[in-house]
């Protein structure tokens, strides 16, 4: 069986799969409402919010697109620094929205001052930020950027925390984030198929004023149903059973321990890179702690390394995404990984490289 260390989907525990195989229940009834309610405190704590968590039966992109449709009344500023953040700009264009962007080189982070300068041009009512740009391993300065956006009244902030949610603390309410979203197949270690998101009151007010926000991804519908611990349409109930199990797992470990474990596991991979002279693609100070993106050394047979790692040891890592495919490789440490499982991966990588 393959061991998945790509940055999503990741390894799912047998206990999670067991939780997911509980008998099906109807979604319009007390049992489902109890299930829905049971995941709220854990999700809210991870997001640093008192706002309800909404459960969307879609991958993260469903909510990323929805955020544009629900919240962009004038013009959106997308902060682009890699595959996911760049694509958000494309999606805004596909929706026919007025959109502008800040584009930095892949591997660089977004500077809060650049956001300020751009917003000073005026006309924007929405900013999209990918907190942890999974394609490059760059973690952006969420607090710094949020502070800038909040200093512009009427500009809402949407944050993709898809690959940082539950790996690092996030303070949605304190930072004034208007929409925070995550996919469950990243650090929450569930199979793909669902996204979790939160909306500020201001975000819901804005959504109400948007005429063409559709039905399936209408944030106002999510808010209305959440009041009754429910979802607008039939949700992925099995995934919510899995989520319930993960929330219990997260609570049992404790958030501080969970964050420390992710940082420690990530440091092990960074140390492996140092030992082999493989440099981080992301700059010091903006490196993700849920995955590592390495720049391929000039003389390194990256494709052979990845192929042999899988063939000999069953480990799957990623050979780069989008336009840096083949030039970088990425290793996830999200989810349930331990020092022991990370060490086993490191031993396998060393074996493939022919070092003891
Ligand atoms: C994985 C990922 C996405 C896309 O998620 P889907 O579940 O494929 O829609 C978006 N943003 C980031 C930062 C991601 O890592």
pLDDT digits (tens, 9 = 90+) for 315-351: 999 999 999 999 999 999 999 999 999 999 999 999 9
Report pLDDT digits (tens) over 104-139: 999 999 999 999 999 999 999 999 999 999 999 999
Same domain, 200 and 268: no
Q: How far is the CA of 84 from the centre of ligand 1 (A)?
A: 7
pLDDT of residue 212: 87
Same domain, 215 and 260: no
Q: How far is the CA of 247 from the centre of ligand 1 (A)?
A: 21
Same domain, 107 and 157: yes
Same domain, 182 and 34: yes
Domain limit, last residue, from 209, 231, 251: 251
Ligand 1 lined by 183 (C-beta under 6 Å):
yes
Ligand 1 lined by 130 (C-beta under 6 Å):
yes
Same domain, 289 and 237: no
Report pLDDT digits (tens) over 299-308: 999 999 999 9
Q: Which residues of 33-62 are buried (b: 16+ CB within 10 A; e: fewer)?
A: eebbeebeebbbebbbbebbbbbbbbbbbb
pLDDT of residue 356: 55
Residue partners of 172: CB distance under 8 A and separation at least 6: 47, 48, 49, 51, 159, 180, 198, 200
From 131, 134, 318, 335, mutation site for ligand 1 pocket: most ligand atoms within 8 A of C-beta: 134
pLDDT of residue 1: 77
Contact 159, 129 (CB under 8 A): yes
Provide the number of structural domains found in the chain.
Answer: 2
Ligand 1 lined by 58 (C-beta under 6 Å):
no
Where in the sequence is the domain holding 345, given as residue range(s)? 3-9+254-353
Give the global pTM: 0.97
Residue nearest atom 14 in ligand 1 by C-alpha distance: 162
Ligand 1 lined by 129 (C-beta under 6 Å):
no
Residue 148 and residue 112: Cα distance in Å, rounded? Answer: 7
pLDDT above 90 covers a percentage of the chain that reads: 98
């Amino acid at each position: 069986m393959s061991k998945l260390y790509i940055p999503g989907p990741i390894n799912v525990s047998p206990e999670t799969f067991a939780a997911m195989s509980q008998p099906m229940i109807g979604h319009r009834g007390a049992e489902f409402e109890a299930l829905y309610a049971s995941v709220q405190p854990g999700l809210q704590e991870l997001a640093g919010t008192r706002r309800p968590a909404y459960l969307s039966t879609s991958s993260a992109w469903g909510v990323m697109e929805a955020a544009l449709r629900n919240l962009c009344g004038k013009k959106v500023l997308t902060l682009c620094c890699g595959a996911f953040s760049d694509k958000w700009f494309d999606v805004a264009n596909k929706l026919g929205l007025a959109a502008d962007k800040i584009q930095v080189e892949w591997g660089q982070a977004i500077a809060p001052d650049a956001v300020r300068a751009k917003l000073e041009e005026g006309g924007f009512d929405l900013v999209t930020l990918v907190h942890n740009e999974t394609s490059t391993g760059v973690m952006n300065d969420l607090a710094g950027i949020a502070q800038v956006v909040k200093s512009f009244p009427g500009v809402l902030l949407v944050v993709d925390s898809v690959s940082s949610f539950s790996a690092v603390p996030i303070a949605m309410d304190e930072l004034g984030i208007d929409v925070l979203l995550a996919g469950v197949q990243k650090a929450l270690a569930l199979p793909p198929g669902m996204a979790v998101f939160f909306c500020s009151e201001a975000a819901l007010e804005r959504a109400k004023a948007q005429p063409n926000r559709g039905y399936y991804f209408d944030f106002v519908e999510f808010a209305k149903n959440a009041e009754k611990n429910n979802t607008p349409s039939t949700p992925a109930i099995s995934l919510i059973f899995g989520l319930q199990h993960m929330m219990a797992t997260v609570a049992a470990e404790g958030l501080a321990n969970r964050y420390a474990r992710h940082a420690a596991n990530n440091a092990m991979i960074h140390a492996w890179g140092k030992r082999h002279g493989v440099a981080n693609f992301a700059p010091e100070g903006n490196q993700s702690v849920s995955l590592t993106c390495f720049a391929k050394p000039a003389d390194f047979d990256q494709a052979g390394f990845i192929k042999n790692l899988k063939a000999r040891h069953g480990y799957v890592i990623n050979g780069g995404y989008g336009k840096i495919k083949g030039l970088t490789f990425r290793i996830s440490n999200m989810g349930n990984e331990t020092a022991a499982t990370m060490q086993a991966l490191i031993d396998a990588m060393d074996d493939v490289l022919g070092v003891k």
